[in-house]
């Protein structure tokens, strides 16, 4: 991916958050981005690991998850093309969640400290970063609401709305974990929906 392609991809990623960005700002971060490949199943960032890098998915699919007290993977989110893998925040030392590649994945990679310095002095990027953080907070509040107020069927339908056709690319056990049910319960839900 040459610099122009990086800039175009970054511009499209920021446009999703409906924040104006300048070509100069986009160029600043495109210059520090390198490309990295993660084979399917590889860990991108583990729990308690330092967040040395921020990633932007250019091709492929990842998930974030935590391990519960019983040793189960609990899926928190899925990241598609154009999504950032940023952990809890660019401004923390270590990650409280893990990220792995669900399928072969290509990313733009930024050194976290270098990116943070650029964001802090660039008003466009700072504004975009705040918008991304607000979007993440809204997502987490919505997920909390879903688990407190929606039944499994409604949570599954919300998952489908949120991730659309990417559902076909995500293993069933991970979808089940995301909506808080077993894989077998997910199969029953799908049968129920198909009989509607």
Nearest in space to 55 (alpha carbons), one of 24, 25, 90: 90
Q: Which CATH superfamily is domain 3-122 in?
A: Jelly Rolls (2.60.120.10)
Domain boundaries, given as residue ranges, for the chain: 3-122
Strand order in the sheet with 105-111: 34-38, 105-111, 53-59, 84-85
Asked whether 186 and 156 are in contact (CB, 8 A), the reply is yes
Q: What is the pTM of this model?
A: 0.89
Pair type for strands 53-59 and 84-85: antiparallel
State the average pLDDT for the chain.
Answer: 91
- Over the stretch 32-72, which tens digit does the pLDDT of each residue have? 999 999 999 999 998 888 888 999 999 999 999 999 999 88
């Amino acid at each position: 991916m040459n610099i122009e392609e990086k800039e175009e991809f970054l511009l499209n990623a920021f446009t999703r958050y409906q924040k104006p960005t300048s070509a100069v700002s986009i160029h600043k971060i495109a210059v520090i981005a390198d490309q990295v490949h993660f084979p399917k199943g590889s860990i991108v960032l583990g729990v308690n690991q330092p967040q040395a890098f921020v990633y932007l998915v250019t091709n492929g699919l990842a998930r974030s998850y935590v391990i519960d007290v019983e040793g189960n993977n609990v899926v928190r989110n899925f990241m598609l093309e154009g999504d950032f893998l940023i952990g809890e925040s660019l401004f923390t030392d270590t990650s409280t969640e893990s990220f792995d590649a669900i399928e072969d994945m290509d990313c733009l990679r930024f050194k976290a400290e270098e990116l943070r310095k650029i964001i802090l002095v660039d008003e466009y990027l700072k504004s975009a970063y705040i918008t991304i953080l607000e979007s993440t907070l809204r997502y987490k509040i919505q997920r909390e609401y879903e688990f407190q107020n929606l039944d499994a069927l409604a949570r599954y339908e919300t998952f489908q709305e949120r991730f659309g056709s990417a559902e076909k690319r995500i293993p069933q056990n991970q979808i089940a974990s995301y909506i808080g049910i077993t894989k077998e319960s997910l199969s029953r839900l799908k049968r129920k929906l198909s009989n509607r």
